[in-house]
Amino acid sequence: MPHGESGGAPGQPPFAHCCLNGFSSVHSHPRVLLYHLSRMHNIKMTLAYDGTDFHGWQAQPGQATIQGALTDVLRKITQEHIQIHAAGRTDAGVHARGQVVNFKARSELTPTEHQRAFNALLPATIRVVAAEELGPDFHARWNALAKTYEYRIYRGRVVPPFDWRFVLHYPFPLDEATMMKAARLFEGEHDFTSFAASSGSEEVDKDRTTVRVIYSSEVLRVGEELIFRVRGKSFLRYMVRKMVGTLFEAGKGKLKPEELTVLFEMRDRSKSGMTMPPQGLCLINVEYPDVWKG
């Protein structure tokens, strides 16, 4: 279609080109007036997703990601180029039951209509479980008070086919009581350098803040599963998975629980446990101040 017949240049609202000729031309295109007079709506959505087939949250060229899938759908719904913000950037293969995102759009769709539209157009492995409109200052990441993650370890001999995408299968001996004791030692404020992935830059690693506050940390036995549940203000990349790897070292008798204190002091990621596979990890929920509760 020749330029000028499409309703405006790329990135402009429909018929935005008429505005260039003065306000009087707007009256012949009321959609323009409605677009520019409509206020921005800040939409918060809670997501659940199976991260198995995605390369994590963050959009990447040529890769299937959660953010990329959401952005594509949002563009179809609103005809706007909009940034979607998440409470946390889950890595490739990591799941979520309570990820929180927000975006600002001029669309006059209600939150419920947004939810229905997203679920109609997203792959079945991503669901919008709740949606609401909040004030303009709400931000999914910066306003978060705490996040809770769980890492599931299936201890039985045979993993049920309904669970295999969401658990680490480990039927071999582990001292679970020792792991439960060690998990409690993560609680409090610590320097988690030993439990974080490198950024790939020595300069960035040197300057970044690696002190984190963990509100609760526990290992639970639930049926055939061993579940590590941790709640904290924020987390470093791979931090939870390396915490689990370190608990495995304790469970195998290679690390005494009290030696965790030494790992904090060493600030050396090579001394902690391995980074465990992603499929057992799930972002359970994100907490916000009461002012942002719907």
SS3 287: strand
**Cα distance between residue 146 and residue 87, in whole Å:** 10
CB-CB contact of 96 with 125 (8 Å): no
Amino acid sitting at position 173: P
Neighbours of 38 (CB within 10 A): 13
Q: Which of 67, 168, 169, 174 is nearest to 122 (CA)?
A: 67
Q: What is residue 13's DSSP assignment?
A: P
Q: Would strands 95-105 and 281-287 be described as parallel, antiparallel, or unpaired?
A: parallel
Q: Which of 134, 42, 45, 28 is nearest to 86 (CA)?
A: 45
Strand partners, 152: 227
Active site residue 137: no
What angle is formed at CA 123 by the lines to CA 118 and CA 128, rounded to 5 degrees? Answer: 40
| 91, 175, 191, 207: the active-site residue | 91
Catalytic residues: 91
